[in-house]
């Protein structure tokens, strides 16, 4: 895939291509393609936020599987964490929280800082946990 083709792909599609690349053997992964996809994602989310909670979970999972750390990308996503957590379903919430736990120590410190300093993120986490608790009690009453 050429650089021009990657530049014409939407950010959400770049994430899905990265996610698919995690399923390919290492010898079939093109490091240049991965770099081009990450560059395209970085450029697009700086100007227009287009990700759903599922997209973010896919991106973090792909970055973990491909051993990619990107402080800039992580920071931009964390700035959108409250709306992401409010908009997703419980499964997406659990996927995002799980993928955040795989981040390197410096990025986990950044996550803790975002949670600690932003009441909206705290509220979104609290609401999601309450929703999960209700789901659990509904299942137990069956």
pLDDT, tens digit (0-9, with 9 covering 90-100), for 29-55: 888 999 999 999 998 887 777 788 999
Torsion of CA 93, 71, 112, 87, to 10 degrees: -30
Task: Indicate if the pLDDT at residue 73 is higher than 60.
Answer: yes
Place 138 in a pLDDT band, splitting at 50, 70 and 90: low
- Total number of domains in the chain: 1
What tokens were used for 118?
Answer: 């932003």
C-alpha angle 97/56/98, rounded to 5°? 20
Is-contact 58 15, C-beta < 8 A?
A: yes
Residue 117, pLDDT score:
94
What's the domain range around 66?
3-140
Q: If we measure between CA atoms, which residue out of 131, 133, 57, 135 comes closest to residue 92?
A: 57
Q: CB 41: neighbour CB atoms within 10 A?
A: 27
DSSP 27: G
């Amino acid at each position: 895939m050429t650089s021009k083709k990657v530049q014409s792909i939407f950010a959400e599609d770049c994430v899905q291509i990265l996610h698919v690349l995690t399923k390919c053997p290492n010898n079939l992964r093109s490091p240049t393609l991965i770099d081009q996809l990450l560059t395209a994602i970085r450029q697009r989310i700086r100007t227009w936020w287009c990700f759903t909670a599922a997209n973010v979970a896919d991106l973090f999972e792909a970055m973990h599987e491909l051993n990619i750390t990107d402080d800039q990308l992580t920071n931009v996503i964390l700035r959108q964490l409250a709306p992401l957590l409010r908009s997703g379903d419980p499964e997406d919430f659990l996927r995002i929280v799980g993928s955040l736990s795989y981040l390197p120590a410096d990025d986990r410190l950044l996550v803790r800082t975002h949670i600690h300093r932003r009441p909206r993120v705290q509220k979104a986490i609290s609401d999601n946990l309450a929703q999960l608790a209700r789901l659990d009690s509904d299942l137990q009453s069956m």
